[in-house]
Amino acid sequence: MNMMTKVESDKELAQSTRAKPRGLTRPAPVRKSPARYRLENLALQVLLIGGFLLLWEYASDRWVPKLMVSKPSEIGAMMQRWLMDGTYMTNLWVTIQATFFGFTFGAGAGMIVGFLTGSWRRLGDILQPIVTAFYTLPRLALAPLFLLWFGLGIEFRIVFAATIVFFLVYYNTYFGVREVSRELISAVRIMGASRLQVMTRVIIPSALVWVAAGLKISVPYALVGVVVAEMLASDQGMGFLLSRSASQFSASGSFAAIAGLLVVALIVDWIITKITDRALRWKTVAEQN
């Protein structure tokens, strides 16, 4: 005999997924559709940026010396020229390559060490203070050493970016693993899971929320690392373009280089967000409920 009828079950399912009932006395405010909300936000952003650019264009050479801030119209012209003569493509490609490898190596190492130290308590207790000591060290102080070891090539920029990314991903992974619910682990162990299965079925997916957050914040840091390294010692890349423009007192060139970096950062951030959202679909669903 099964007391729970299908109708009851369906009702329960519907209740669990439906919005909460509205109050009796005061109607709930009418919510805008998500598409309209996004469109309005986009319009406001365009308005804000457009207004700022117009103000900048007007203020340059009137209130602020043009030598220092240039003009959006001149920056635009410079960007167009760099786009046409291949300056952007050549230098962006160099920067993107170094960022990609720096991010991959740094994040990969951060995840591996974070998982090991997080899941193996003894190792964590031994290594954690040492990692923290290195973390507090200003990365810029290591640049001369890296230059000595790796020379002026792409390796120097990759290693420099990787050392920045490593710590961000390491800490997120380490704490993510440590935060995994003991109750979940016990439940899966009693179901018959081996140590490896506990790792793959519980610890890794659970820590993934933290790891994803670490990855997301470390992408711009990887880019910053590469650009700084290129500014320090390089003859190519967006950092090089930026420092060369600055040394030639070309504010237009500096802003054009920054704008190029901005576009790259936005594209990379969008890609990472798409990947992590897909991997953490359950989290998005949970946040909506």
Q: How far is the CB of 197 from other proteins (least distance, A)?
A: 6
Interface with other proteins, residue 199, by CB under 8 A: no
Q: How far is the CB of 286 from other proteins (least distance, A)?
A: 4
Among 96, 147, 184, 224, binds other proteins (CB under 8 A): 184
What residues have CB less than 8 Å from 49, skipping those under 6 apart? none
From the list 21-29, 133-141, 190-198, 218-226, the region that binds other proteins by CB under 8 A is 190-198
Q: How far is the CB of 283 from other proteins (least distance, A)?
A: 8
Nearer to other proteins, 2 or 25 (CB): 2
Q: How far is the CB of 5 from other proteins (least distance, A)?
A: 8
Tokens of 243: 């420092």
How far, in Å, CA of 115 to CA of 118, rounded? 5
Question: Greatest CA separation found in the chain?
Answer: 86
Q: How far is the CB of 56 from other proteins (least distance, A)?
A: 46
Interface with other proteins, residue 6, by CB under 8 A: yes
Binding mask of the shown chain, residues 9 to 48, with x at each position contacting other proteins by CB under 8 A: xx-xx-xxx-------------------------------
Q: How far is the CB of 68 from other proteins (least distance, A)?
A: 52
Among 20, 190, 235, 278, binds other proteins (CB under 8 A): 190
From the list 45-53, 57-65, 132-140, 275-283, the region that binds other proteins by CB under 8 A is 275-283
Among 42, 47, 187, 275, binds other proteins (CB under 8 A): 187
Binding mask of the shown chain, residues 205 to 234, with x at each position contacting other proteins by CB under 8 A: xx-x--------------------------
Interface with other proteins, residue 282, by CB under 8 A: yes
For tokens 């800490």, the residue is: 171
Question: Which residues make beta-bridge pairs with 171?
Answer: none
Tokens of 202: 């519980």
Residues that bind other proteins (CB under 8 A): 1-4, 6, 8-10, 12-13, 15-17, 183-184, 186-194, 197, 201-202, 205-206, 208, 280, 282-283, 285-286, 289
